[in-house]
Structures are given as C-alpha cells and as structure tokens.
Amino acid sequence: MLFQRPINIALSALALSFSFASSAQAADYPSRPITLVVPFAAGGPTDVVARSLGAELGKILKQPIVVENRTGAGGTVAANYVANAAPDGYTYFIHHNGMATATALYPALKYDPLKSFEYVGEVIDVPMTLLARKDFPANNMAEFITYAKANADKINLANAGPGAVSQLCGSLLQQALGVKFTTIPYQGTGPAMSALLGGQVDVLCDQTTQTIPHIQAGNVKFYGVTTLNRISKLPDAPTLNEQGLKDFEVKVWHGIYAPKGTPAADIAIFNKALKAALKSPDFTAKMADLGAEIVSEDRQTPESLKKWVQSEINKWTPILKAEGINVN
C-alpha cells in the first residue's frame, strides 16, 4: 500500500504530460504541409478525386495538401509505403476497393489492411463504364458481346494491374463472356486511357470520374455502366446488367487512411476537415459532374470505414481465390 502511492503519483504525472503533449500537438495541428498519397498514376480517377479533395482540405486545414503518386502493383506499393511512413499526422492515403482485395491477390503482402493503418473515413462511390477505342468494330453492347466472343484472341484489354478496379472489372467481364483477352497493365488508368484514346489498346473498364468527359466528347465507344441500376449523370446509358450480363456489378468506393499510430487527436481534426470538404459546393458539384456520389455522413467515420473494409475482405477473398483472379 505504502509503495503504491508514489507509483500512482508518478503515473498521474505521466498521464498528465501525455495529455498535454497530445493536446499541444492537436492545438497547432497541422503546422506544415500534409502529404496525400495516391496509389495510381497522375491524371487518373483516383488522382482526380485526391486533387479535388486535397484542394478543399487545404482551404479548411490552412495548409497545402501535397498529392504524391506512388504507383505499382495495383496500389500495394503505395499502401506498403504508407504503412511504414512516420505516424506523425502528416501522411494520409486515399485508396479504393484495392484496400480489401489485395490480401487475396498478393499472398506475400507485407502489410495488413486492418492492422497497419489508422482509418479516417469513406469519401465517395464511383460507378464504372465499359469503353472501347473510337474505331473499335462493335457499336453497342450486343455487338460487343458477339465480336468479343468471336475475336477474343485479337482484343487487348487495358488495366492498372491486379488490385486495380479496372482489373477486377475486366476479369469479371471476361468471366461473364467466357473469353480471355490479352491484358495490358499500366500504372493507373490515366495512362491506360491515353493508350485507348491513341488506339494502342482496344477495351478499358474505368471509373466515371475519368471517363465521363471522354464519353461526352465522343472520344470512345461506350457500352454501359457497371452498376446494377442506371446512374443519374448518364440516365440514357444502359447497365451491363440489363444488356445480358445478369447481376454484373462493380462499384468503386474510396477511403482515407493514415499510418498506424498517427495521433488520435490529429485523425479527429483531419476527419472533421474531411466531413466539411465532402459538403463543400465546389467538391460536391465536381464529383456530381463526374458521376460520383459522396457517401452519407454515417459512412464518413473511421469505424464505419473499418467495418466496410472488413466486410469487403470477407466478400471478395473467397471469390478471388475461387476464381483465381490473381493473374491478368
């Protein structure tokens, strides 16, 4: 008993100094530019969201948000980088479905999606679209199906590698049609889209956040959207589901993460800024124009995002393993 008191006093003093330290850090946080790591190439759909969101976050947090593209291995190079970055509140990470599919696709993954990160919150849902180069022979989905079945060995399908949603969508498409195309992987669908526009590849499945301007300008052949229901931005565009690929669905979701150990006070400040950014008129208008939907407020929390990633890991791991979707 006698010995317990000094220990208690020492512990209380320690706790007090910790709480001073963390509130002191939160009080002037952020005091320098913040890095937002993007796992795919500049100019692509994830980059478009990161830069638009970064501009809003920068205004709210009164510090520049510096977007850093770290490409490779379907997003796992960037995820591994962030998992090992200093947990000082100055590195964040935006990633999509790849956060949940990587464990099944990369057996030797060096990070754990559920244990190596602090979770910040979900951002947006984005539909995908199926496109071909402008002079591709098929003019609509029915023609695409017929042509693809007869000429699969002649068709080049671009994607951003295993772990990318373009790869997931392309794999599900080949499975649904019972065909095998030749796959050409890029560091992101930004360069994959340039290759499609240049006629170097034939087909690409990609997010509306990149494809809508090209669809509207008539730069590509457009066969349909990958959501189960039509989307309000392209109300006349049929879904693949209603054009013979029954139950075909790929929807992209994006979340924000930080290295494990990032102070909770900093995450709370960043999350508050994220929620404000997701309401900002400039960001919401831009995302609506690109067919993306900002997630509801209850999904903009660390707890909700973590639950979602866990449920997506549970959903996709058996599917990807059973189908062997770990190769192009």
What is the rounded CA–CA span in Å between residue 95 and residue 123?
A: 10
CB of 40 to ligand MLT, least distance (A): 3
Residue (96 or 221) nearer to ligand MLT, CB: 96
Residues 165-186 as b/e (b if ≥16 CB within 10 A, e otherwise) read bbbbbbbbbbeebebebebbbb
Instruction: State yes or no: residue 160 binds ligand MLT (CB under 6 A).
Output: yes
How many Cβ atoms sit within 10 Å of the Cβ of residue 252? 26
What is the rounded CA–CA span in Å between residue 70 and residue 223?
A: 31
CB of 5 to ligand MLT, least distance (A): 58
Tell me which stretch binds ligand MLT (CB under 6 A): 100-108, 130-138, 185-193, 270-278.
185-193
Residue (116 or 189) nearer to ligand MLT, CB: 189
Instruction: State yes or no: residue 181 binds ligand MLT (CB under 6 A).
Output: no
Q: What DSSP character marks residue 42?
A: T
Instruction: State yes or no: residue 126 binds ligand MLT (CB under 6 A).
Output: no
Instruction: State yes or no: residue 224 binds ligand MLT (CB under 6 A).
Output: no
CB of 167 to ligand MLT, least distance (A): 7
SS (H, E, C) 254-312: EEEEEECCCCHHHHHHHHHHHHHHCCCHHHHHHHHHCCCEECCHHHCCHHHHHHHHHHH
CB of 15 to ligand MLT, least distance (A): 44
CB of 67 to ligand MLT, least distance (A): 12
DSSP string for 67-102: EEE---GGGHHHHHHHHTS--SSSEEEEE-THHHHH
Instruction: State yes or no: residue 158 binds ligand MLT (CB under 6 A).
Output: no
Query: Of 87, 188, 255, 302, which lies in the binding site for ligand MLT, with binding defined by CB under 6 A?
Result: 188
Residue (169 or 269) nearer to ligand MLT, CB: 169
Residue (144 or 186) nearer to ligand MLT, CB: 186
Q: What DSSP character marks residue 162?
A: B
Tell me which stretch binds ligand MLT (CB under 6 A): 82-90, 113-121, 183-191, 273-281.
183-191
Instruction: State yes or no: residue 190 binds ligand MLT (CB under 6 A).
Output: yes
Residue whose C-alpha is closest to residue 44's, from 78, 88, 15, 14: 78
Instruction: State yes or no: residue 87 binds ligand MLT (CB under 6 A).
Output: no
Structure tokens at 207: 């997010």
Phi first, then psi, for residue 71 (nearest 5°) are -95, 165
Q: Which of residues 24-83 bind ligand MLT (CB under 6 A)?
A: 40-41, 44-47
Residue whose C-alpha is closest to residue 306's, from 124, 125, 120, 165: 120
Residues making contact with ligand MLT (CB under 6 A): 40-41, 44-47, 96, 160, 164-166, 188-190
